[in-house]
Structures are given as C-alpha cells and as structure tokens.
C-alpha cells in the first residue's frame, strides 16, 4: 500500500466506512510508516473536535434549490465524449486499481454505470406515470400551502385573459402545479417567491407584473408582503423591465408609505435606466413637500450628469415657488 492510498483510507476508517480487510491492510502500513501514523492521529483529533459540536441539518428548501442550481450548472457544461468520461473515471480510480485486479475493477465500473442508468430510467418512467395519473384524476389541482411542498423554484406563471385565474408551476422535490385566483394567499406567496428567486427574467417579470396590477387596482397590497416584494424588485432586480413594473405597482403608496418613498428616492439616485429615474421624479411630485424628497430633487437638479434628469427635477421644483 502506498501513502496516497493510505491517506484516503485513513479518512474512511475514521468514520467507520472502511471494510475489515482494508482496515487490517491499513494497520499494517501504519506500523511501518511514521508519516501516515501522524496523519491518522491528526485525523482522529480533528474528528474528536468536530464531534464536540452539534450537527445542524440544512433546510430542506435550501437543499432542493441547491440541487436544482447544480443540475442547471451541469447542464450548462459542454458535453464530453464517451471515451473522455471513461478516461476520467479511470484516472479517478487509479489508486483503487492498484489494490484490485484491473478486470474486476473495470467490471465494477461498468456494472455500476449500467445499474445507475437503469435506475434513472425506471425512476423517470415512474415519475411520468405518477404525474399522468395525478393529472387525470385531478386536472385542476387546487391551491395548497407552498411551504408544505418546500418550494425550490418557480418554472412558469400563466394568467387566463380577462380573469383573476392564475396557474403557477413550481418545483419542490417533484414539479407541481396549482391554480387559483390572484387573491389566493398561496398564489400570492408563490408570486412573491418568484419575484425574488426566479432565474428566468420572464417569470420574474410575470410575477412582478401581476403583483403590481393588484396594487394598482387597489386590491389587498400589504406593506409586509406584496409591497416589500415590489421594493426588493425595484432595488435589486437586474432587468430594467422588471424594475419598471415594480415602480408602477408602488406608485399608489408613495404618499402613505415612507418605505415606498425611500425606495423611489433610491431608484431616482441609483437606477441605471434613465427612463425609470425620470418616472420616479414624476411619481414623487405629489410628495415633494417632504424634506428628504425636496433635498434629493435639488441635488439631482444641480449635480446629475444626465441633462434630462436635471431638467425634470427642476421642473418639479419650479411648480412650488416656496421650495425654490
């Protein structure tokens, strides 16, 4: 046994995952190798320290999201040819091949790969049959609490024309679909989740647009909930179209909610899109008597690099002579 293989088996032995025959072989090596013996002592000391602290299980929702992101990252990798993958597997298992017959190791690799592939297709077919049966038995599933499904991501949002009926497809441990009205609390929860976490610009835009339309229509638009989701989208979304929809949805609350007002001021000062900044000035005009609004407008009117932004700010300030 060489030292490289011994280091791998020291870790496995520390966690009780090394077979008895390999454990005996490792013990024989450690009796003659001082360096590996010190490595084992350090490993056991590290394990003793780690066992002194409690193990915290990760949130199931976080695990599901991480798996989906990992799958997306793997799908984005360029495909490799079959012989390149085989060579990589052989390189990764070179140490193991030193202590086992080559033919048996290759047979193990081939058998493991075939078993994994067969299990994958069986699981895929089972999932497809299960989903088909569920859709036949319940073609329009009712809205359920998304937290029970541990939502990982939102895959699509569709609204029926001229209605309040919405279909949201989302991924949990398995993909799911719910239907419901825009005023359904679970539909709203999924829309708010999509506005922050969806990787697709289209899905984020759809969710923010639906939430904004609810606010503009005067429907239930709580400060802690939909308004918060719209302010987050206005501040942090990378897409100008999504930020534009959030801005429009927040407009009815700029006078009554100081947090909405602050979000508008941040958009005026920091947004990279001149159209959004200009619209923020127009939205802030009814509350220009507010000290912070007035100060920001004056600063923008005097120092902003964009001449149109400076002009729009001066026009708003000029309509109230006492604030000039």
pLDDT tens, residue by residue, 81-135: 655 666 666 665 554 444 445 444 555 555 555 555 555 555 555 554 554 444 4
- Residue 171's DSSP bridge partners are 153, 175
**Phi, psi (rounded to 5 degrees) for 158:** -135, 135
Rounded distance between C-alpha atoms, residue 241 and residue 233, angstroms? 10
End-to-end CA distance of the chain: 86
pLDDT tens, residue by residue, 222-269: 766 788 888 888 988 888 999 999 999 898 888 888 888 889 898 988
Rounded distance between C-alpha atoms, residue 222 and residue 183, angstroms? 12
Question: Lowest-confidence range among 56-70, 126-140, 289-303?
Answer: 126-140
**Cβ neighbours of residue 133 under 8 Å, at least 6 residues apart?**
none
Burial of residue 246 (number of CB atoms within 10 Å: 0-12, 13-18, 19+): buried
pLDDT band at 80 (very low <50, low <70, confident <90, very high): low
Q: What percent of the chain has pLDDT over 90?
A: 6
Q: Which residue has the higher pLDDT, 291 or 127?
A: 291
**Cβ neighbours of residue 238 under 8 Å, at least 6 residues apart?**
none
Residue 304 region, left (φ>0) first, then alpha (ψ -120 to 50), else beta? beta
SS3 annotation, 278-303 = HHHHHHHHHHCCCHHHHHHHHHHHHH
Element (H, E) at 155: strand 153-159
* CA dihedral (141, 142, 145, 151) positive or negative: positive
Question: Lowest-confidence range among 63-77, 143-157, 187-201, 233-247?
Answer: 143-157
pLDDT band at 286 (very low <50, low <70, confident <90, very high): confident
Rounded distance between C-alpha atoms, residue 26 and residue 310, angstroms? 76
pLDDT tens, residue by residue, 25-44: 888 888 888 888 888 887 77
Q: Choose the most confident range, by mean pLDDT, from 73-82, 112-121, 161-170, 301-310.
A: 301-310
pLDDT band at 147 (very low <50, low <70, confident <90, very high): low
Q: Which residue has the higher pLDDT, 50 or 227?
A: 227
Q: Is the pLDDT of residue 221 over 90?
A: no
Structure tokens at 123: 């699981």
Range list of H helices, 141-290:
185-197, 201-216, 228-236, 240-250, 258-270, 274-284
How much is the average pLDDT of 279-301? 86
159 DSSP 8-state letter = E
- Which pLDDT value is given to residue 177? 79
81-104 burial by CB neighbour count: b if 16+ within 10 A, else e? eeeeeeeeeeeeeebeeeeeeeee
Report the Cα 262 to chain-centroid distance in Å: 27
- Which pLDDT value is given to residue 316? 86
Whole-number average pLDDT of the chain: 75
- Residue 177's DSSP bridge partners are 169
- Which pLDDT value is given to residue 129? 52
Rounded distance between C-alpha atoms, residue 299 and residue 255, angstroms? 21
Structure tokens at 131: 């989903």
Structure tokens at 285: 């005009």
């Amino acid at each position: 046994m060489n030292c490289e293989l011994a280091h791998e088996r020291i870790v496995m032995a520390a966690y009780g995952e090394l077979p008895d025959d390999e454990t005996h072989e490792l013990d024989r090596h450690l009796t003659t190798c001082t360096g590996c013996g010190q490595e084992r002592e350090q490993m056991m000391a590290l394990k003793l320290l780690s066992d002194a602290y409690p193990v915290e299980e990760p949130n199931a929702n976080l695990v599901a999201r991480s798996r989906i992101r990992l799958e997306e990252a793997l799908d984005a990798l360029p495909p490799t040819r079959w012989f390149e993958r085989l060579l990589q597997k052989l390189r990764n298992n070179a140490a193991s091949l030193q202590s086992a017959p080559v033919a048996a190791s290759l047979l193990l690799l081939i058998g493991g790969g075939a078993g994994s592939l067969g299990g994958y297709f069986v699981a895929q077919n089972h999932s497809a049959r299960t989903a088909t049966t569920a859709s036949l038995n319940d073609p329009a599933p009712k809205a359920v609490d998304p937290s029970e499904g541990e939502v990982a991501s939102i895959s699509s949002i569709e609204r029926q024309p001229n209605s309040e009926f919405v279909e949201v497809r989302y991924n949990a441990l398995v993909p799911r679909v719910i239907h419901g009205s825009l005023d359904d609390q679970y539909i709203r929860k999924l829309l708010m989740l999509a506005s922050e976490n969806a990787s697709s610009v289209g899905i984020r835009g759809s969710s923010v647009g639906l939430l904004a339309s609810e606010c503009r229509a005067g429907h239930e638009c709580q400060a802690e909930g939909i308004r918060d989701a719209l302010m987050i989208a206005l501040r942090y979304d990378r897409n100008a179209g999504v930020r534009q929809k959030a801005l429009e949805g927040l407009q009815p609350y700029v006078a009554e909610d100081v947090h909405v007002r602050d979000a508008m001021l941040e958009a005026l000062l920091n947004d990279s899109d001149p159209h959004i900044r200009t619209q923020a000035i127009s939205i802030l005009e009814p509350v220009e008597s507010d000290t912070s609004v007035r100060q920001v407008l004056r600063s923008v009117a005097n120092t902003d690099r964009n001449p149109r932004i400076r002009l729009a700010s001066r026009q708003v300030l000029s309509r109230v002579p006492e604030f000039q």
